[in-house]
Structure 1
Amino acid sequence: MTRAPLKNPLIAIIGATGTGKSELAVALAQRYNGEIINGDAMQLYEGLPIITNKITVEERKGVPHHLLGCIGLNEPTWVVGTFVKKAIGVIEKIRSRGMLPILVGGTHYYTQSLLFIDALATTKDSDPLAEAQDFVPDLAAKYPILNESDERLMEELEKVDPVMAMRWHPKDRRKIQRSLEIWLQTGRRASDMYAEQREAKLANTGNASDSDQGLRFPSLVFWIHAETETLRERLDRRVDNMLARGLLDEVASLDGLLRSNASADMPIDETKGIFVSIGFKEFRPYDSAIREGSCSEKELSRMREDAVERTKIATRQYAKRQVRWIERKLMSGLDDARSGDSLYLLDGTDVSAFNSSVVEPAARLLDDFLTATPMPAPSSLSDTAKSMLQVNQSRQGTTAPQNWIRERCQLCDVT
């Protein structure tokens, strides 16, 4: 089907950590006069290039990168509303220069919130919680119920919004709190707001120039995917490489910041922000043992091996969560917005064939996209694309509130 002429296109590159997202972004930016916008929460922080896996200056190959290393280490991670507002500002500036904006990063809820026109995650005018999220302590003080136990929070949510209470796991405190916050701040049920949002998306039958049926901009999304075992080995090697490049120096530096602030009676919440990055929390006990000199060489060796293994496990788990988000959230969102054909999976399993299996297919698709040429079906690119993209077929419609069902959790035996 021929697309309407494109206006203000956005390219997004998603996928698990270690699949080559930044490499593809740079390659496309070089060919199509692009500038890159970072969509990784940890890479917003200044410094610490190893812990945050920032692309190096050499790897950028002269391509401008934005929202990279732009906030201090003691600052909180940006809430979604802040990221979207900042990113839109950057996109507008990129377009004013006649360049193509390319969003790349592993924090997929950032990506999804930017891609979609979402009444709950855009600006402060359209997000009843955006302002409150910037001042979480004040919000909790204003509404003491938010400090109660998980069980008490769920009881309250069941009273005010039973539909959302049915959706969340009883131990998912963050999501339960957010649903309660919406009720407390607006006097409206989150389930009603989501339903209205869904109906608005489904009612939108305009073309790409009219927000592309739920998308904020006409968008082309590339998902770089790698076979699980191959990616596991690749990620394990990356952790080893991080150690060789100086990971422990960055761990010591970050730990020093915490200790310095604590000594100055200005403690930093180490359960948030950069301090929860993979690698720091796993190696911190080992770093402390070295600094204190209280352990034998044998004990230190054991602690180091344990930290390495835990870092590798955490990295693999993070990669799995990223893929789950794409499958369960992003793909469903695109289907709801009738934009499922905007997502193309590229098989990045074979690193030696990255150019032929990822870069070149992406370039051909981008050519078609920018010139309004009819594009191939996403599932036709490869057997991997066909199998992975069909995973979502059985999930179509499950995002509608009337289709939510409560199941029994096999881990905690709670319905």
Structure 2
Amino acid sequence: MPYHLNLEAVLEMPCPLICIAGSTASGKSALAFQIAQQYNGVIINADSQQMYQGLPLLTAQPSLKERKEVSHTLYDCVPNEAPGRHVMEWIDDVVILVHRCHTSGYLPIVVGGTGFYLYALEEGLSPFPAVKRMTPSELLEHSTDQSLYERLIQVDPVSAKRIPKEDKQRILRALCVYSSTQAPLSYWQEMPKIKFLSHCFWHKIYMHGEKSVIQHRIQTRFKQACFQGLCDEISKFSLTPASPLSRSIGIKSLKSWQNDERSWQDAKTSFLTETWHYAKRQRTWFKRYFTADHIITLE
């Protein structure tokens, strides 16, 4: 950093939109900050964890100093309470923010590592009706001898083949859809998608780094977060199984150290390993689904 990007041609297009993607610790936020400073931009968060309140250091949210210098939106704005926000709620907010940017002369910069959010924003989503959130006990009220996955096989075999039986969150979502609409999730997914920002001129940037580079950056960021008070932040945070941030990468490793269940070195190693595995999954997803106009290779 800094990167020498010339986006003048992009700004000349109608309704320009910058989209920055990459794995955790790839430098997305720093690049977005640089572009926002140079081109009068507003940074819009596309990370499913950074929207929640409670763990700004663990989720690597922009600092207060950075937020004062450049406009950041959809960060640290949602209480960490179950059941969390759905992607459609996030899209509704982004569409409004992008429109405001264009009407006010600002450049919208969508940045994050939650690939599905970015994909849904660009490619659209199937038109789902309102879905009531339900608990496992409510869903299995008349089928107490079944597991959630067995129930899903019964009512929506197509989705059951797509969703791993270990993915409780997606299974629960699919069953809620069926219970609320009396139609399987797969039925709604096959309907034509509604696009949200097709009128925008998208310029997509991907931050790429080799394994050793990303691992080194993960280690560096972890050290910096510890220096800034990560352990104190974790100690004040109460794990609640159903809350969104209780599923954050690495939090259980650090909590187990604070509870004297493992050594610091063991907790640190576990944290870094878990974070790298998450980055690796992100890299695989972006390689498959994210077509970049510009690739920045980290050194």
TM-score by length of 2: 0.82
Q: Which shows bigger deviation, 75-84 or 229-238?
A: 75-84
Q: CA deviation at 1:45?
A: 2.4
Which of the pair has the greater relative contact order for Cα pairs under 8 Å at 6+ separation?
Answer: 2
Q: Aligned letter for 1:327?
A: K
Q: CA deviation at 1:284?
A: 1.1
* Contact 1:39–1:104, Cα closer than 8 Å, also in 2: yes
Quick check: 1:26 aligned with 2:45? Answer: no
Instruction: Tell me which structure has the larger Cα radius of gyration.
Output: 1
* Contact 2:134–2:176, Cα closer than 8 Å, also in 1: no
Percentage identity across aligned positions?
29
For 1:292-320, what per-residue CA distance to the aligned partner results, in whole angstroms no more than 9, with x for missing partners? Answer: xxxxxxxx8x5211111111011101111
What does 1:202-281 correspond to in 2, within 5 Å? 215=198, 217-255=200-238, 269-281=240-252
What does 1:168-183 correspond to in 2, within 5 Å? 168-183=163-178
> Hey, what does 1:107 align to over in structure 2?
114
> Hey, what does 2:70 align to over in structure 1?
63
Quick check: 1:136 aligned with 2:107? Answer: no
1:145–1:241 distance in 2 versus 1, CA, 3 Å: farther
Structure 2 CA distance, aligned partners of 1:153 and 1:178? 12
Q: Which shows bigger deviation, 317-326 or 164-173?
A: 164-173
Structure 2 CA distance, aligned partners of 1:75 and 1:151? 21
Q: CA deviation at 1:58?
A: 3.5
Structure 2 CA distance, aligned partners of 1:91 and 1:276? 29
Structure 2 CA distance, aligned partners of 1:162 and 1:73? 33
Q: CA deviation at 1:253?
A: 1.3
Quick check: 1:346 aligned with 2:281? Answer: no
Structure 2 CA distance, aligned partners of 1:317 and 1:13? 21
Q: CA deviation at 1:17?
A: 0.7
Stretches of structure 1 that go unaligned for 5 or more consecutive residues are 120-125, 202-210, 259-268, 290-299, 332-339, 351-415
Quick check: 1:307 aligned with 2:278? Answer: no
1:218–1:136 distance in 2 versus 1, CA, 3 Å: farther
Quick check: 1:197 aligned with 2:192? Answer: yes
Structure 1 CA distance, aligned partners of 2:102 and 2:141? 45
> Hey, what does 1:356 align to over in structure 2?
none
Moved beyond 6 Å, runs of 4+ = none
Q: Aligned letter for 2:122?
A: L
Structure with the higher helix share, 1 or 2 = 1
* Contact 1:41–1:77, Cα closer than 8 Å, also in 2: no
Quick check: 1:165 aligned with 2:124? Answer: no
Q: CA deviation at 1:197?
A: 2.4
Residue from 318, 330, 335 that aligns with 2:278: 318
For 1:228-257, what per-residue CA distance to the aligned partner results, in whole angstroms no more than 9, with x for missing partners? Answer: 1221122122222222222111011114xx
1:143–1:217 distance in 2 versus 1, CA, 3 Å: farther
Query: What secondary structure is seen at the aligned counterpart in 2 of 1:222?
Result: strand
* Contact 1:179–1:190, Cα closer than 8 Å, also in 2: yes
Number of paired residues?
A: 288
Q: Aligned letter for 2:201?
A: P
* Contact 2:140–2:148, Cα closer than 8 Å, also in 1: no
For 1:317-366, what per-residue CA distance to the aligned partner results, in whole angstroms no more than 9, with x for missing partners? Answer: 111121122233x34xxxxxxxx5xx23423321xxxxxxxxxxxxxxxx
Q: CA deviation at 1:151?
A: 4.7
* Contact 2:249–2:274, Cα closer than 8 Å, also in 1: yes
1:190–1:151 distance in 2 versus 1, CA, 3 Å: closer
Stretches of structure 2 that go unaligned for 5 or more consecutive residues are 1-9
Q: Aligned letter for 2:215?
A: R
1:145–1:281 distance in 2 versus 1, CA, 3 Å: farther
1:171–1:74 distance in 2 versus 1, CA, 3 Å: closer
1:65–1:146 distance in 2 versus 1, CA, 3 Å: farther
Q: CA deviation at 1:154?
A: 4.3
1:162–1:270 distance in 2 versus 1, CA, 3 Å: closer
Q: Aligned letter for 1:155?
A: I
What does 1:404-415 correspond to in 2, within 5 Å? none
Structure 1 CA distance, aligned partners of 2:215 and 2:128? 38
* Contact 1:222–1:346, Cα closer than 8 Å, also in 2: yes
Q: CA deviation at 1:188?
A: 3.3
